[in-house]
Chains A and B, each alone.
Chain A
Amino acid sequence: DTAVSQTPKYLVTQMGNDKSIKCEQNLGHDTMYWYKQDSKKFLKIMFSYNNKELIINETVPNRFSPKSPDKAHLNLHINSLELGDSAVYFCASSQGGRLAGTSTDTQYFGPGTRLTVL
């Protein structure tokens, strides 16, 4: 049983298009995240949601819009794709609540979505 799943696994698209990546977790966790991994393997947080509420938006361009229809899902929609958006996007989840502060809860990662913008 997959704990954190993402679709699609690969996404190839043209500049200027709009695309979405879906994420689902079946762990019953309260908090979900999106991370971006660049070509140098550097990972950086993009968004954090707790129980459908946005907690962190790390200076991500507003072309990126996360949507959480319920606490088990956190989708990422990207408008007007640019070459620099090419990366691997990872979804993750953890148990901690919004008042957890500096959380030591283990984050469970999905397999990643490799986005290539041509």
Chain B
Amino acid sequence: AQSVTQLDSHVSVSEGTPVLLRCNYSSSYSPSLFWYVQHPNKGLQLLLKYTSAATLVKGINGFEAEFKKSETSFHLTKPSAHMSDAAEYFCVVPGFQKLVFGTGTRLLVSP
């Protein structure tokens, strides 16, 4: 079965500093992988997805993620955090007719 592990439950950064949210996947083959974001009291929104094309994927709001097969990782990064980035971030792998979610990483951004 495919699964993802988010290594940090919380990440705190200052506004204007880089963001790194870590995700490792487990799969017997190269999977597709997604990052979703959930702002407080809101639904989930797709940030970006990797589908075995380019390994560096650019998403919305300045986020990007790099698929590294050798490290089984799909970390999410952003060069400069903004207050509006404070949210819960989920690394996700698609299964048969469903999404399998990681446990989430809460990003806290301080002024």
Seen from chain A, the residues whose Cβ lies within 8 Å of a Cβ on chain B are 4, 31, 33, 35, 40-45, 48, 50, 55-56, 58, 90, 92, 96, 98, 100-104, 106-112
Seen from chain B, the residues whose Cβ lies within 8 Å of a Cβ on chain A are 32, 38, 41-46, 49, 51, 88, 90, 94-101, 103-104, 106
Could you tell me the distance in whole angstroms from the C-beta of A32 to the nearest C-beta in chain B? 11
B contact patch SS? strand
Contact B101 A43 (CB under 8 A): yes
In the complex, which residues of chain A have a beta carbon less than 8 angstroms from the beta carbon of B90?
Answer: 43
Starting from the known contacts A41-B38, A45-B99, A98-B97, 10 additional A-B residue pairs (CB-CB under 8 Å) come to A42-B101, A43-B44, A43-B104, A50-B97, A102-B96, A103-B96, A104-B49, A107-B99, A109-B43, A111-B43
In the complex, which residues of chain B have a beta carbon less than 8 angstroms from the beta carbon of A92?
Answer: 44
Contact A104 B32 (CB under 8 A): yes
Contact B94 A42 (CB under 8 A): no
| CB-CB under 8 A for A102 and B95, given A42-B103, A42-B104, A110-B43 | yes
Which of A102, A108, A109, A110 is the one whose CB lies under 8 Å from B94?
A102
Contact A55 B32 (CB under 8 A): no
In the complex, which residues of chain A have a beta carbon less than 8 angstroms from the beta carbon of B88?
Answer: 41
Contact B98 A33 (CB under 8 A): yes
Contact A103 B43 (CB under 8 A): no
Could you tell me the distance in whole angstroms from the C-beta of A61 to the nearest C-beta in chain B? 18
In the complex, which residues of chain A have a beta carbon less than 8 angstroms from the beta carbon of B101?
Answer: 42-44
A-B interface, 6 closest residue pairs, ranked by CB to CB distance from nearest: A45-B98, A109-B43, A43-B101, A109-B44, A104-B32, A48-B97
Residue of A nearest to B38 (CB): A41
Q: Complex Cα distance A40/B41, Å?
A: 14
Which of A45, A48, A109 is the one whose CB lies under 8 Å from B45?
A109
Q: Complex Cα distance A55/B95, Å?
A: 13
Contact A41 B104 (CB under 8 A): yes
In the complex, which residues of chain A have a beta carbon less than 8 angstroms from the beta carbon of B49?
Answer: 104, 106
List 13 A-B residue pairs with CB atoms under 8 Å apart, sorted by A's residue number.
Answer: A40-B103, A41-B38, A43-B99, A44-B101, A45-B100, A48-B97, A90-B43, A92-B44, A101-B96, A102-B32, A104-B49, A107-B46, A109-B44
In the complex, which residues of chain A have a beta carbon less than 8 angstroms from the beta carbon of B103?
Answer: 40-42
